[in-house]
Every structure is written in C-alpha cells, then in structure tokens.
C-alpha cells in the first residue's frame, strides 16, 4: 500500500512538474512569437535577408569573406524560398531554435543541477530572458548558436555519464551544426575540453576514475570527425577570399564591455541611462555574494564548475584575444555562454535560503520583467533600428524630383527592404557594391558626392544611422552646407533629414526682384 501510495504521489508530482515546464515553455514561445513583425527589420537582419536571397553558391562565396559561416544564411535561403521574405516569415526561423532552446536548457539544467525544481528555475530565467527573446525575434544565427551550444553541453555531459554510440553520434552531429553556425562555437568545445581535463585530473566525476580513457577516446573520435567536416570550408575559405574584407570594424573592447555583456545577458537591451543607473548598483551584487553564505551541504556539484567555466571563460578569452590580437568582442557573439550563465543564476537563487531567497529572487524576477517590458516598449533602446518607419516616411513624402541618400552606405540593405519609391536611392559616400570595400569619408569626398547627388534634384532625403561610422559625419556635413527643411527621429539613432537641393541662381533671383 505504501509503495502504491508513493507511486501515486510521484506520478502526481511528475504531472505537476511536467505541466509547469510546459506552461513555462508556452509562455516563452508566446513572448518570442507575439507580434513578431512589430519591430522594423534591423541592419544585420536586412544583410542576412539580402545574402540569403541569392544563390547558395553566392552565399558560400560571400561568407568566405565574412566573419560568419554559411550554414545559417543557406538555411534562410531555403526557408525564404518556401515561406517568403516577410519580416514575420524570416523571423520565425530564429524563433524556432529560440523556443527549442527552452526545453534544451531544461534538460541541461537537470543534468547539471540534478534537481528538477532548480532546472525549472533555469528554464524560467531563460524563458523570460530579454536577451534570448531579443535574438529569438531577430533573423540572425544567434538562437541557432544558443540551441546547439545548449545541446552540445547536454550531450557532452551525457557521454561522460553514459558513453553510448548514440550519444556520441548525436553530440557529433550537433557540434557539426555548431561549427558551421558561428566561429565562437569553438569556445563551447574549448570549455568542454578544459572541463573534461579538470574532471579527469581531480576525480570530481566518479565514473571517470575508471572510464576516463575510453570516454576520452570517444571525444577524440568525435573531434576527428568534426575536423574532417570543417576542413573543406577552411580550404575553400583560404582559396576563395577575394580582395574585399567584410568583417565589421570593431574597436578594441574596454572593461566596460565585460560588465555590459553580463548586464545584457541578464536584463537585455535597455536605454543607456537605465543601463548606467543599474550597473551603478553593483556594490549590491557583492552583497549577494555575502548573503549567499549559509550553513549548507556542499552545493557545488561538478556541473557547477562547468557552468562557471562555460559562463565566464569565453568572455575572458575573447576579451583578452581582442586586446592582444584582433578586436572581436561583441556581446551577441558570446550568446553561447548564456545557457550556462542562466543555469548558474538559477543555482545561485535556489541555493539561497529563507527571506534572503524571497527578497533576492523577487528583486531579480521583478528586474527581468521590468527590463523585458522596457525592452519591448521603450523607443530609446540603442539597438532598435526603425528603418521601416523612416523609409515609409520617405516613401510617402518624396517625389521623383527628390533624391534619397543613405548613410552609412551599408544601411542600404534595410532601406532597400522597405523601399518603394520612384526617387533615386544612393548612398553617401557613394558606394559601388560590386567593390566590396566601403570608401573612406573625408571632406573632399563628401563635397564631390554631395554636388553630384544634388544635381537635378529638388530635395535630398537623408536616412542617417548616427551610431554607425560615417552616419553622423554625413548628416553634419549636409547640415552645414545645405538648408535643412525637416528633421525626424525614428529610433535612437535612425534619423531622416530633408534638405533643399535646388537653389535659384543669382540671375533668377535678380529677375524675380525686378
């Protein structure tokens, strides 16, 4: 009877937990899919759509000169052939791995934290994470990277515990997708190598005391397959890199980038003032470290070391490499750290006790909810790029006697996406897109280009993105040299200015006076 009773209680518990998990995933799906096309297509998205609208061969050749890999755009290409290129359609391709990352992080959390309630906490954080939601609603490769990173860690741990060929094959297949999704996926593999060596050396994982060598051999076999699978691309890239360089012009990171990354992982994208004010509260995060101290059984399973390593070491590595060799630090590139970062946060919250847990947990979730709300509604989010309304304004107000100028030149991509206008569209500085490199901006060049653009036109409509290199310079040049008729802001950095291009000649003026 007792056994039967226990079984019923367990079944009920399972039912409750599974229901909660499903509800949280449904909530996450809703937050990712609701009004998916509400925001304008952003620059990066437009570039992906433009690249994916070409042939697979073009994509392969183009990506060979890019900092990214061809898999995502190739998938997008196929997707667009079936579902079209509307904002809703293309973004669903990101939302799907974004939603699938939720059950994946639940599985990984269960593996790491060995506790379903703690795993639900990690799932909840991920489900409402403004950062994850942002990228689930943007057609880029970042949610795919998140999904494969999460699954890669999951099957990595599965192999350590249970080295079946099925696990190894799945792990290898996932990693194969990962290495063709983003170069920074290699950091996930690096973390796994380091963690495996730590486990082997310290004996933290009891099973490895006896099976370390055989598990190691399986990982080596998987690595060989991955290397062989990546070699064709490496060879192709080495052979086909053309004269152009499409890598973004990144600056060397400062310590602020590290702090900002952790902030954005936690609270997503916020207006600059809000970000600065919240980061300024940092002494209170030190306090969390102290209030965490409580008598308890050892809360550190081996998985916590993996979570710590996976959450922070990629940030440190990329930061150091950026300082010493080549700037490559962008928060979104490090999204593969977020699954383990969220698991670490869940562990921290669940290991707190009593009132401290309620206070810290309450403040944490209130902070996330408010941030998500703000991320969705605030027009001051720096990463929001409202090209749609900017271009709609131009579409509605310009005529074929006007010229539409875009600056910097590569913002032509999002403008083209929405452009539906007889007016001539040109970039400033003028950019021949068959020549991959964008010309440098200087006064001489601007004078030459603006004179050429002005000719035969009544007004100049300038769509400028001020936080991108050249946008502010061009707007400032036109402000100083032309009569500005109108100026409109559509998002934090996207502005449309209208200038008078046609001026009456001196003779005409004299005649009219007479």
Partner 1 sequence: MSNEKDPIILTNYAKVSKLLISTAVLLTLIYFTWWLNINNAGHPVLYTFLVVGEIFHVWQALGYAYTIYNQKRIPFKMAKYYHPVDIYITVCGEPVEVVEKTVRAVMDISYPYFNAYVLNDSKGAGKDNWEDIDIMAERYGAVPISRPTNKGFKAGNVNNAMRLTKAPYIAIFDADQIPEKNFLIRTMGYFNDEKMALVQTPQYYVNKGDNFLTRAAWEQQELFFGPICNGKNKSNATFWCGTNAIIKRKAIESIGGVPEDNIAEDFLASLFLHEQGWSTIYIPEILAKGLAPHNLEDYVNQQFRWARGSLEVIFKYNPLFRRGLSWAQKMQYLYSSGYYLNGIIVLIDAAIPLLALGFDALPVSAETSDFMVYFFPFIFSTIFLLMMSTRNQITFNAIQMSMSSFFVFFTATISAALNIKVKFKVTSKSKESGNYLKLVIPHMIYIVLTIIAIVVAVIRDGIVPSVVTNASWAIFNIIFFSGFLRVAYPWETVFEKLTKPVTLGLEQEVAEEFAFPFVEIDTSLHTDHED
Q: Residues in the site for partner 1, rule: CB under 8 A? A: 202, 254-256, 258-260, 276-277, 279-284, 286-287, 289-299, 356
Q: How far is the CB of 9 from partner 1 (least distance, A)?
A: 29
Closer Cβ to partner 1, 161 or 294, answer by number = 294
Q: At what angle do helices 302-324 and 87-113 cross, to 10 degrees?
A: 130
Two structure tokens written together for 27: 């909530």
Closer Cβ to partner 1, 235 or 282, answer by number = 282
Q: Which of 89, 99, 169 is nearest to 133 (CA)?
A: 99
Q: How far is the CB of 304 from partner 1 (least distance, A)?
A: 11
Q: How far is the CB of 356 from partner 1 (least distance, A)?
A: 8
Q: Which of 286, 281, 276, 318 is nearest to 185 (CA)?
A: 318
Q: How far is the CB of 295 from partner 1 (least distance, A)?
A: 5
Q: How far is the CB of 308 from partner 1 (least distance, A)?
A: 10
Q: How far is the CB of 330 from partner 1 (least distance, A)?
A: 17
Buried-state track 107-141, b at ≥16 Cβ within 10 A, e below 16: bbbbbbbeebebbbbbbbbbbbbbbbbbbbbbbbb
> Does 429 sit behind a cis peptide bond, omega within 30 degrees of 0 on the bond before it?
yes
- Count the Cβ atoms, other than its own, within 10 Å of residue 273: 9
Work out the end-to-end distance of the chain between its first and last CA atoms, rounded to an integer number of angstroms.
Answer: 112
Task: Look at the alpha carbons of 25, 27, 32, 37 in this order and tell me if their dihedral is positive or negative.
Answer: positive
Closer Cβ to partner 1, 23 or 359, answer by number = 359
E-strand stretches of 194-253: none
Q: Is 183 helix (H, G, I), strand (E, B) or coil?
A: coil
Closer Cβ to partner 1, 20 or 317, answer by number = 317
Closer Cβ to partner 1, 27 or 278, answer by number = 278
Two structure tokens written together for 83: 């579902």
Closer Cβ to partner 1, 160 or 348, answer by number = 348
Q: How far is the CB of 160 from partner 1 (least distance, A)?
A: 20
Closer Cβ to partner 1, 67 or 291, answer by number = 291
* DSSP letter (8 states) at residue 413: H
Q: How far is the CB of 125 from partner 1 (least distance, A)?
A: 20
> Does 408 sit behind a cis peptide bond, omega within 30 degrees of 0 on the bond before it?
yes
Closer Cβ to partner 1, 1 or 281, answer by number = 281
Antiparallel, parallel or unpaired: β 459-465 and 494-500: antiparallel
């Amino acid at each position: 009877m007792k056994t039967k009773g226990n079984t019923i209680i367990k079944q009920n518990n399972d039912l409750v937990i599974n229901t909660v998990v499903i509800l949280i995933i449904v909530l996450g799906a809703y937050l990712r899919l609701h009004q998916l096309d509400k925001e304008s297509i952003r620059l990066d998205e437009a570039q992906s759509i433009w690249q994916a609208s070409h042939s697979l061969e073009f994509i392969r050749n183009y990506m060979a000169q890019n900092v990214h890999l061809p898999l995502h755009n190739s998938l997008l290409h196929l997707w667009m052939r079936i579902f079209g290129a509307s904002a809703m359609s293309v973004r669903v391709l990101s939302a799907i791995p974004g939603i699938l990352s939720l059950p994946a992080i639940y599985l990984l959390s269960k593996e790491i934290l060995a506790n379903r309630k703690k795993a639900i906490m990690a799932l909840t954080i991920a489900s409402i994470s403004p950062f994850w939601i942002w990228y689930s609603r943007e057609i880029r490769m970042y949610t795919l990277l998140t999904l494969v990173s999460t699954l890669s860690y999951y099957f990595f741990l599965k192999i350590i515990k249970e080295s079946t060929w099925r696990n190894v094959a799945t792990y290898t297949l996932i990693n194969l997708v990962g290495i063709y999704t983003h170069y920074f996926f290699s950091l996930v593999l690096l973390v796994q190598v380091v963690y495996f060596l730590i486990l082997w050396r310290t004996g933290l994982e009891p099973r490895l005391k006896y099976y370390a060598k055989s598990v190691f051999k399986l990982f080596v076999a998987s690595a060989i397959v991955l290397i062989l699978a990546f070699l064709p691309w490496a060879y192709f890239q080495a052979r086909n890199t053309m004269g152009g360089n499409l890598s973004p012009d990144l600056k060397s990171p400062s310590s602020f980038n590290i702090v900002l990354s952790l902030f954005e992982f936690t609270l997503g994208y916020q207006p600059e003032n809000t970000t600065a004010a919240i980061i300024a509260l940092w002494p209170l995060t030190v306090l969390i470290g102290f209030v965490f101290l409580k008598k308890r059984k050892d809360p550190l399973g081996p998985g916590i070391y993996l979570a710590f390593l996976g959450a922070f070491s990629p940030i440190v590595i990329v930061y150091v490499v950026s300082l010493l060799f080549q700037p490559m630090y962008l928060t979104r590139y490090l999204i593969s750290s977020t699954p383990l970062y969220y698991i670490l946060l869940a562990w921290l919250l669940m290991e707190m006790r009593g009132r401290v847990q309620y206070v810290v947990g309450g403040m944490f979730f209130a902070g996330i909810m408010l941030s998500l709300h703000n991320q969705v509604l605030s027009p001051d989010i720096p990463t929001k790029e409202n090209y749609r309304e900017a271009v709609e304004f131009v579409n509605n107000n310009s005529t074929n006697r006007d010229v539409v100028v875009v600056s910097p030149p590569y913002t032509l991509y999002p403008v083209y996406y929405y452009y539906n206008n007889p007016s001539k569209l040109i970039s400033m500085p003028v950019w021949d897109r068959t020549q991959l490199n964008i010309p440098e901006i200087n006064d001489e060049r601007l004078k030459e280009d603006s004179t050429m653009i002005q000719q035969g036109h009544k007004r100049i409509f300038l769509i400028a993105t001020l936080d991108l290199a050249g946008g502010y310079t061009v707007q400032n040049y036109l402000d100083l040299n032309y009569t500005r008729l109108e100026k409109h802001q559509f998002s934090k950095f996207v502005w449309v200015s209208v200038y008078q291009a046609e001026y009456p000649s001196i003779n005409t003026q004299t005649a009219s006076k007479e």
